[in-house]
Amino acid sequence: MKVIGDSEHFKQPFDHDEDYVSRAEAKREIAIYQELGMKLVVLSKTQIDKLELDEIIYDNVLKTKTIKINTEAYRRHLQYIGKLMRNVDVEALQLDIKNVLNQNSNESAKQNVAEKLKDQLMSEGDQAIQELIEKHPDLDRQKLRQLIRQSNKELTKKPDQASKSAAELVKYLRTEITE
């Protein structure tokens, strides 16, 4: 005979089921998938190309970029991407996104360093070239001087336009200086 106060009486069948996921937990998981989908949608196409995404997810992320933001269609499409994300390894994808974003920030930092070096080389001349060659002996002194000379000529002729030689100098500095 069972007593009404018996704890066995109040147990639900899913209390012993290890695969059971509560409603709140399911909603938290869905929110994580949708947030990850939002991170993908914010990335540029070149950044998305660097990720190894499933073809269906890739196509839908790109399709989202064509939908107006803050519309019901946009919200529904983000939910659909969240649904597609359920089959993806979340941790691995988050790590890949982080690497892509970090790679872009490293590239922009290299670009900034090269731009500053270019400005310094063009303003200070041979002394700056000598200091740079002492730090980085693998640089070609003659090529540096030639690019600086051409850049200065282009800037004196057309000061309002960007110099092609200056851009080439920045590109050379970026590729040769690996620090």
Check pLDDT > 90 for residue 172.
Answer: no
Domain 7-88 fold: Diphtheria Toxin Repressor; domain 2 (1.10.60)
Check pLDDT > 60 for residue 92.
Answer: yes
CATH class of 107-176: mainly alpha
The single residue listed with the structure tokens 């969240």 is: 82
Please report the pLDDT score of residue 16 as a whole number: 60
Q: Decide if 57 contacts 83 (C-beta within 8 A).
A: no
Please report the pLDDT score of residue 110 as a whole number: 79
Please report the pLDDT score of residue 72 as a whole number: 93
The band of 10, judged by pLDDT with boundaries at 50, 70 and 90, is low
Please report the pLDDT score of residue 63 as a whole number: 92
Query: How far is Cα 138 from Cα 124, in angstroms, rounded to an integer?
Result: 20
Angle, helix 141-157 to helix 90-124, in steps of 10 degrees? 80
Please report the pLDDT score of residue 86 as a whole number: 85
Average pLDDT, the chain: 81
Structure tokens that stand for 70 in this block: 């803050």
Check pLDDT > 60 for residue 11.
Answer: no
Assign residue 70 a region (left: φ > 0; alpha: ψ between -120 and 50; beta: otherwise). Answer: left
Q: Coil, helix or strand for 81?
A: helix
Please report the pLDDT score of residue 5 as a whole number: 53
Please report the pLDDT score of residue 70 as a whole number: 87
Please report the pLDDT score of residue 52 as a whole number: 83
Domain ranges in the chain with CATH number 1.10.60? 7-88, 107-176
